[in-house]
């Protein structure tokens, strides 16, 4: 007889089976009563203030009578939807920033279609981001606004701030990759920071597919932690099935994870080849349109936020920023979580928003 069977009493096994059955029945009851609108994400009230092609600029409804005079524009990554910063009422970076007195804007990149196959980083940075910044500057009659760039959006914000320093008052980057040569990080390896025969053939991918499917990127991210992200969380589901709140949290995360836009082919090609494979950002060799990105042009105050257990953007990749910027007002702050924990961890949501607001308030003059 197998050892574990000899150690399990019949009454214990029966009790565990009964408890599991109760949880599953409660879970079925919870799932059958949920509606599509119950798992809605991006719930904080907002209005459209600018539209261009598929890009939409939102302004969230301020939560205080007199918000900080200089608004902040959140620039999210092209990968995944930007509403991870506003996942649900009690787990929303946006809602917490509003409560602490910020005036918050957000760029929604939309869903690229075949018509967007030829969009480049020039279109995204010199086009969409710059036009959104100008729309906010015009609305508030300001020369400069604050930028908060997240993940790939943080890298874009670094490029933008280098090209348009006269329009950026303060720059915050959060879990943003800067030094892409991270040979021990799986995402960087698969992105191709190794060259030669092992490198991902980006040109072949783009030529064959046009836009890069969001499902491909999803699979790539899941394969970084296949057991945890692809199997274990579903095995653990019966343990939370009896709680409607936990089921809703689970489903909102699932909805966000698998709601992945395709990537415009040319923009994807340039980002993977020049940032990942050739690590041009820290070399000062990135060209966006007719402008060259030089991180030394970043003379404005910078707050660099990173996650200590980030498996997508290793801390070393973000921390490299300090070596290349030209500002004397540089602050770095870490949080003991992974990449996603920066958005959904209760402890981080307690500490992160005041860190941002206090830092901006001290530099609001």
CATH second-level architecture of 39-362? 3-Layer(aba) Sandwich (3.40)
Q: How far is CA 244 from the centre of its chain?
A: 26
Backbone torsions φ then ψ of 89, nearest 5 degrees: -55, -45
pLDDT at 107: 98
pLDDT at 213: 93
Backbone torsions φ then ψ of 174, nearest 5 degrees: -130, 125
Q: Residues 129-155: what's their mean pLDDT? A: 97
pLDDT in tens, 177-207: 999 988 777 666 666 555 566 667 889 989 9
- Kindly give, in sequence order, each residue whose CB lies less than 8 Å from that of residue 353, ignoring residues fewer than 6 positions away: 93, 96, 97, 99, 100
- Determine whether 193 is an active site residue: no
pLDDT in tens, 264-310: 999 999 999 999 889 999 999 999 999 999 999 999 999 999 999 98
Q: Residues 163-184: what's their mean pLDDT? A: 93
pLDDT band at 18, cuts 50/70/90?
confident
pLDDT at 210: 94
DSSP 187-213: HHHHHTSS-GGGS--HHHHHHHHSSBP
Q: In angstroms, rounded to a whole number, what is the distance separating the alpha carbons of residues 209 and 278? A: 22
Catalytic residue among 132, 151, 159, 193: 151
pLDDT in tens, 45-77: 999 999 999 999 999 999 999 999 999 999 999
Q: What percentage of residues in the chain have a pLDDT greater than 70?
A: 94
pLDDT in tens, 303-354: 999 999 988 899 999 999 999 999 999 999 999 999 988 888 888 889 999 9
* H helical segments located in the chain: 3-7, 10-33, 93-99, 121-122, 130-140, 152-163, 186-191, 202-209, 214-222, 226-227, 233-235, 237-240, 244-257, 265-270, 315-319, 341-344, 346-361
Q: Which is higher by pLDDT, 256 or 23?
A: 256
Backbone torsions φ then ψ of 67, nearest 5 degrees: -70, 165
Query: In the chain, where are the structural domains located?
Result: 39-362
b/e map 178-200, b = 16+ CB within 10 Å: bbbbbeebebbbbbbbbeeeebb
pLDDT band at 31, cuts 50/70/90?
confident
């Amino acid at each position: 007889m197998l050892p574990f069977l000899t150690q399990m009493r019949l009454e214990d096994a029966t009790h565990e089976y009964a408890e599991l059955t109760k949880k599953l029945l409660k879970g079925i009851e919870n799932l059958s009563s949920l509606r599509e609108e119950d798992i809605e994400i991006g719930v904080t009230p907002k209005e459209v203030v600018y539209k261009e092609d598929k890009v939409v600029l939102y302004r969230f409804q301020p939560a205080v009578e007199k918000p900080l005079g200089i608004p902040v524009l959140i620039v999210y990554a092209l990968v995944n939807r930007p509403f991870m910063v506003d996942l649900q009422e009690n787990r929303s970076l946006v809602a917490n920033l509003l409560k602490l007195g910020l005036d918050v804007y957000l760029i929604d990149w939309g869903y690229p279609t075949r018509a967007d196959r030829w969009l480049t980083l020039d279109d995204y940075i010199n086009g969409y981001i710059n036009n959104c910044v100008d729309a906010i500057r015009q609305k508030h009659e300001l020369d400069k606004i604050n930028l908060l760039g997240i993940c790939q959006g943080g890298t874009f914000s670094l490029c933008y701030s280098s090209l348009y320093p006269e329009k950026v008052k303060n720059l915050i980057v959060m879990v943003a990759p800067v030094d892409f040569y991270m040979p021990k990080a799986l995402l960087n390896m698969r992105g191709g920071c190794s060259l030669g025969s092992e490198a991902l053939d980006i040109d072949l991918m783009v030529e064959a597919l046009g836009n890069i499917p969001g499902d491909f990127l999803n699979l790539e991210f899941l394969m970084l932690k296949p057991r945890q992200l692809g199997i274990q969380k579903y095995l653990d589901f019966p343990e939370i099935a009896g709680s409607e709140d936990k089921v809703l949290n689970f489903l909102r995360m699932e909805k966000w994870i698998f709601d992945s836009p395709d990537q415009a082919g040319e923009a994807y090609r340039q980002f993977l080849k020049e940032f990942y494979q050739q690590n041009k950002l820290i070399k000062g060799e990135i060209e966006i349109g007719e402008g060259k990105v030089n991180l030394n042009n970043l003379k404005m105050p910078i707050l660099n936020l990173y996650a200590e257990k980030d498996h997508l953007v290793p801390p070393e990749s973000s921390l490299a920023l300090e070596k290349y910027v030209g500002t004397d007002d540089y602050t770095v702050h870490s949080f003991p979580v992974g990449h996603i924990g920066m958005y959904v961890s209760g402890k981080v949501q307690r500490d992160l928003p005041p860190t941002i607001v206090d830092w901006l308030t001290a530099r609001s003059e």
